[in-house]
Amino acid sequence: MSAVPLSVCASGFVAYRARASDARRLKTSARASERDVESVPSDVDDSARSRAPKTTRRPLIVLPVAMATVATRATANANEFASEEAMAVLERRGKIAYSDEEWQKRLDPFTYKVLRKEATERPFSSELNKEKRVGRFVCAGCGSPLFDSKAKYDSGTGWPSFYEPLAGAVTEVPDFSIMFLPRTEVRCKACQGHLGHVFEDGPPPTGLRYCMNGAAMKFEPEA
């Protein structure tokens, strides 16, 4: 099991927060312009009104564009605040790597959605959930060994579950894809394919539940 420390959060790298002041200054400027326009009395003559600041939609347009620029700049400069290893994990680049088009050719459509796009299969839909033979479970994308059948147990969730992976087989990274519900994503370390998530409600000896998508794995029975 390999946990890679990442300086990431729900909105990306910490660098994004450092530039949030730019957006606050733009908001303050936009509010000030609106107050100037509202301060002109309604009974002034046309010549005085023509000299007053004019109502414009420009602040309403500039603000979202500027905020988008800040976010884009933070992403572009993210590698200045993270190691190459962390950037590789963030971009799902493993030792075994293919372009997105190549992954689509190598994998069947649903396996591609799970491994490369983090889709989740329906519970009780995978035959691997009921697999009880002796052997090992390997990545459906690159064939790397992931779990030994000895670590498999019936969690009752409907997904293949294990209390531990093979040594050095997976990478665990923070997952903030669901607001207010931070989780830990489990990936194949070799190709960075999405496998599932790990939870702290498993059985002894680890107390962990590696809840995996059957579509992300294949089973190889012991010879």
The predicted-structure confidence for 98-118, as pLDDT tens digits, reads as follows: 999 999 999 999 999 999 999
Which residue shows structure tokens 């312009």?
33
- pLDDT band of residue 60 (cuts 50, 70, 90) is very low
144 CB neighbour count, 10 Å cutoff? 19
**Lowest pLDDT segment from 68-72, 121-125, 212-216:** 68-72
Pairwise pLDDT comparison (43 vs 140), residue with the higher score: 140
Q: Respond yes or no: is residue 142 known to be catalytic.
A: no
**Per-residue confidence (pLDDT) for residue 62, from 0 to 100:** 47
Active-site residue, from 139, 142, 191, 211 = 211
Task: Specify the pLDDT at position 194.
Answer: 98
Q: How high is the pLDDT of residue 92?
A: 85
Residue with structure tokens 């394919």? 193
Whether residue 47 is predicted with pLDDT greater than 60 in this model: the reply is no
Q: Over 60: is that where the pLDDT of 219 sits?
A: yes
Q: Could you tell me if 171 and 2 are in contact, meaning their C-beta atoms sit under 8 angstroms apart?
A: yes
Looking at residue 87, its pLDDT comes to: 82
- For 100-221, CATH number out of 2.170.150.20, 3.90.100.10, 3.40.50.2300, 3.40.50.620 equals 2.170.150.20
Cβ-count burial of 98 within 10 angstroms (0-12 exposed, 13-18 middle, 19+ buried)?
middle
Domain locations in the chain as residue ranges: 11-81, 100-221
Average pLDDT on 128-136 reads 97
94 pLDDT more than 50:
yes
One-letter amino acid at 56 equals T
| CB 129, CB 164: distance < 8 Å | no
Residue 37 has pLDDT above 70, yes or no: no
- Is the model more confident about 222 or about 83? 222
Average pLDDT (110-138) is 97
Answer whether 0.75 is exceeded by the pTM.
no
